[in-house]
Amino acid sequence: MTVASRVRHFVSVADLGPSDLARLLDEASSLKAGRGRHARPLAGRTLAQIFEKPSLRTRLSFEVGMVELGGHCVYLSPQEVGLGRRESVADVARVVSRMVDAVVLRTNAHETIEEFARWSSIPVINGLSDLTHPCQGLADILTIRERKGPDLRRVTVAYVGDGNNVLHSLMLGTALVGAHLRAATPEGYEPQERYVELARRAASASGGTVTLLRDPVAAVKDADVVYTDVWTSMGQEQEYERRRRAFHGYQVNADLLRGAKPDAIVMHDLPAHRGEEITDDVMDGPQSAVFDQAENRLHAQKAVLRWLLGEG
């Protein structure tokens, strides 16, 4: 028998309603403002991080976040656990649940996180799967809110590139806050229909919109935010050449950016493949918000930890 029904997880931005998201964002902003001075409510609590793929930001932000909240963290690398290979996902979930207070999973397959959550009696946080990256989505909305103000109902976010995990979470997040998302993807690289539907449902309640396009120039026209991500995600390395060809014309460069509003910000979840989806001059230019966005992973993650560990 699975145990998950009583436990709160953060597996997708779709797990949040508009008021949950607003509360998390407010909490993240207040933790950011009070960094170094705020309370340490997670003293004695332990977070495990089980990763099947590499990470800089996700691992570091959870580790530092736990320490700053008074708790600590155990990291288990791709070589160690062997989720579903060395041991079944259900068994790992039940063992981990007996020893720590929450777990972050970064997996190849989204189903692994869902299966883990079914068996876990502690909160499960999605630290990236092939389908979604909700912690990134949260930090993205936090960054947009910082730069464009708390009311995002007049804000247009243009996403140019692959219809991937990062776009799925961004789409759900912008829909919840009532912003207008325009995504330009090449044929065959559109976001999954299921996430488009979820986002459109949330947008219809918030007054936001989700528009799918082919043309990056049309997507970026008069946008407030221009967002891109890698063309080849972790685990897709064998598709590298095919993707490079398919994404020709989808680079965020100075020419494309000129079509956005003059005060538009540029976002990228990182790591960037500079010279592919984004040029150095744009990434390092005055409109770039990418390093604020990276820092905001820490503040957003701390808010998630407080929420799930019952201290938020």
Pick the closer one to ligand NVA by CB: 165 or 251: 165
* Shortest Å, Cβ 270 to ligand CP: 5
56 binds, among ligand CP, ligand NVA, none (CB under 5 to 8 A by kind): ligand CP
* Shortest Å, Cβ 51 to ligand CP: 9
* Shortest Å, Cβ 40 to ligand NVA: 29
Interface residue list for ligand CP (CB under 6 A): 55-58, 128, 136, 269-271
Pick the closer one to ligand NVA by CB: 234 or 246: 234
Pick the closer one to ligand NVA by CB: 58 or 97: 58
Pick the closer one to ligand CP by CB: 32 or 297: 297
217 binds, among ligand NVA, ligand CP, none (CB under 5 to 8 A by kind): none
* Shortest Å, Cβ 50 to ligand CP: 14
- How many whole angstroms separate alpha carbon 223 and alpha carbon 36? 36
* Shortest Å, Cβ 165 to ligand NVA: 5
Interface residue list for ligand NVA (CB under 6 A): 128, 164-166, 229-230, 233-234, 269
Pick the closer one to ligand CP by CB: 203 or 304: 304
112 binds, among ligand CP, ligand NVA, none (CB under 5 to 8 A by kind): none
